[in-house]
Structure 1
Amino acid sequence: MAVSALPRTMDALTRRATMLRDSLHKSQGNTDGMVAILGSFDHRLSALEAAMRPTQVRTHAIRMAHENIDKTLKAGEAILAQFDLTRRAEATILRGPHEDLESYLEAVDTLKGISRFFSSNKNFRSSEGILNHVNGLLAKSSLKIEEEFKQLMTTYSKPIEPDRLFDCLPKSLRPSKDDEDENANQSDHPSKGLETAVYKIPTLVPPRILPLMNDIAQQLVQAGNQQSCYKIYRESRGSALESSLRKLGVEKLTKDDVQKMQWEALEAKIGNWIQFMRIAVKLLLTGERKICDQIFEGGNFNKDQCFAEMATNSVVTLLSFGDAVAKSKRSPEKLFVLLDMYEVMRELQPEVFGE
């Protein structure tokens, strides 16, 4: 580079630095650190310009200085780009995830990348300030994501109506619409081949929602909120399962409750209980297991424990009636219905107890 071209080169570089500084002044929030960085670039340029003004400066020194200045400006442009990304991601975080969850999660990933950038370049002036700001935004985003997960789980954790459940049973097990008590007499007409009967698993949560729940669960775990994620799932889905069973007619009875019943009433309840057990295990619990597996797919999730804790209260309620009948006073008329209860438990045992 000719010495005569030096003033033009220096002017051009100075203008680039000035433009970067002016552009940064226009961006929103956390610009003080960048202004300080670019201000230091101005001082360096001024010092270099003063040093290179003498006409006897060697050409090699001028070329090296030009390269160093260019590298400095490129570093400044990279930092400015990070500040611009921060500004845009911050706007998305402040709006919240409800309107556009996908964009919100992308903004969270962007902030994580910015945090890594400044963590690996701590020699930049004011890098600590921008790091603190970005990490603060990430903490805020984690709270908003947890709220969104809770809202989604609550919105889509509604009990399922009994009619829908009956429609999912094999035809041989569906209660007759002409005889409301037929389901109570199922124990009198045991069906063959029930273990191979086809059950249609009901849709408990819209399929399009499950991937979103999975994305949020992954983010919560990455943010260290795994236990909150599990708690929200257990409470929402556990409540929906219990409500579905109550609508169906499942109730928790003690030995004393059973002992006080007339035989006809008890026989009807036993027939219902056999039907409820099949519905609960073959339809509801199977459907809930699918939901659990999809929400907690991937990552370091303990799906088995989470599902078991969610379903425990409902399973205990279901089994309490069978236990109460088994412990009640023996009588000859109970023999056949007790055998039917035993058969349904043998049929469902692998699924209830996970054997």
Structure 2
Amino acid sequence: SARRREIEDKLKQEEETLSFIRDSLEKSDQLTKNMVSILSSFESRLMKLENSIIPVHKQTENLQRLQENVEKTLSCLDHVISYYHVASDTEKIIKEGPTGRLEEYLGSMAKIQKAVEYFQDNSPDSPELNKVKLLFERGKESLESEFRSLMTRHSKVVSPVLILDLISGDEDLEVQEDVALEHLPESVLQDVVRISLWLVEYGRNQDFMNVYYQIRSSQLDRSIKGLKEHFRKSSSSSGVPYSPAIPNKRKDTPTKKPIKRPGHKHDFRVKHLSEALNDKHGPLAGRD
């Protein structure tokens, strides 16, 4: 009897547990159904949103691509239009010439050259091509004239006194400073070099080398004639052809200093420039 009551109590507990589990399963099934319903509704709404967003996204991409194309087109148009303004923008500078503003002048010539290349490649029948060509030729002529003017104005005859001071002297004389021979002022030399390089590279004209040769050889010839005249006068008066700038204080057996080579920096640049040209004009620098 006691055993039976114990079994009945256990059975009752098991039934209660089974009932609790059954209720929990039913609630879980209900929650699952509710969750499935919610997810289905969310999926449906998401599909509707996707169907409405995708066309908008595609349209936005198309608009962005169109905007980029428009910006590139405007940039190209601005670049092309700038070539049509080159003639009017640089005409005044070209007419006034490069004197005193060589840097700005060469910058304008670079713009004109680019405009010439553009019209030759893209619009050879354009009247703008003739305008920029005329400006380019006028600018080249102005640079050639400036080269001649610089060489003419700043190339000077070397006095016989300075020549003798440079090539001779006594070892026992205490000279405070070396005598320097300046062929051209440094600023002028820089301008001459820049103009020469431009004429060789862009002007495709080497006639300026003849100008350099004529002017410098003329000054050299006059310097030599002046030295010859100085020798003649010195020989007739004292018989000793030395520079009056050097005191007449000599030993019985004079020893001459090594011959100096003044203006070496200038001659090296001219030689370097002549070597960049053809062999026909290369030796001209050596004649100076």
Bucket of the pairwise TM-score, normalised by the shorter protein? 0.5 to 0.7
Q: Structure 2: how far apart are the matches of 1:101 and 1:282?
A: 37
Deviation at 1:69, TM superposition (A): 4.7
Q: Deviations over 1:73-127 (max 9, x none)?
A: 33222222333344322221111111312211111112122233344444xxx87
Kindly report which structure 2 residues correspond to 1:184-199, keeping only aligned pairs within 5 A, or say none. none
Does residue 1:224 correspond to 2:204, yes or no?
A: yes
Q: What is the alpha-carbon root mean square deviation over aligned residues? A: 4.0
Alignment check: 8 A CA contact 1:152 1:213 kept: yes
1:293 correspondence with 2:273: no
Q: Structure 2, unaligned stretches of length 5 or more?
A: 1-57, 243-255
Alignment partner of 1:238 is 2:217: yes
Match of 1:151 in 2: 149
Are the aligned partners of 1:211 and 1:295 in contact in 2 as well (CA < 8 Å)?
no
Indicate the structure (1 or 2) with the bigger Cα radius of gyration.
2
> In the alignment, what sits opposite 2:77?
76
The structure-2 alpha-carbon separation of the partners of 1:105 and 1:297, relative to structure 1 and needing over 3 Å to count, comes to farther
Match of 1:305 among 279, 283, 286: 283
Aligned residue pairs total 206
Shift in Å, 1:159: 0.4
Q: Which amino acid aligns with 2:266?
A: I
Provide closer, same or farther for how the CA distance between residues 296 and 216 of structure 1 changes in structure 2, counting only shifts above 3 A.
farther
Q: Hey, what does 1:315 align to over in structure 2? A: none
Q: Distance in 1 between matches of 2:185 and 2:212?
A: 16
Q: C-alpha displacement at 1:301, in angstroms? A: 2.8
Letter in 2 for 1:291: H
Instruction: Tell me how far apart the structure 2 counterparts of residues 202 and 174 of structure 1 sit (CA, whole Å).
Output: 22
CA contact (8 A) 2:112 2:136 kept: yes
Letter in 1 for 2:157: P
Q: Does 1:134 align with 2:135?
A: no
State how far apart, in whole Å, the 2-side matches of 1:219 and 1:92 are.
17
Deviations 1:16-56 (Å, cap 9, x if unpaired)? xxxxxxxxxxxxxxxxxxxxxxxxxxxxxxxxxxxxxxxxx
The question of whether the paired residues in 2 share the 8 Å contact of 1:96 and 1:144 is answered with: yes
Structure 1 unmatched ranges of 5 or more:
1-57, 176-197, 254-263, 273-278, 312-355
Query: 2: CA distance between counterparts of 1:173 and 1:93?
Result: 55
C-alpha distance in 2 between matches for 1:301 and 1:174: 45
2:160 counterpart residue number: 162
Distance 1:70 1:169, change over 3 A: closer
What is the match of residue 45 of structure 1? none
Partner of 2:110: 109
CA offset digits 1:107-161 (Å, max 9, x no partner): 1112122233344444xxx873222222221111111111100000001111022
* Cα offsets for 1:267-323 (capped at 9, x unmatched): 949x67xxxxxx9x945xx44664343246457235751124x35xxxxxxxxxxxx
Overall identity of the aligned pairs, in %: 21
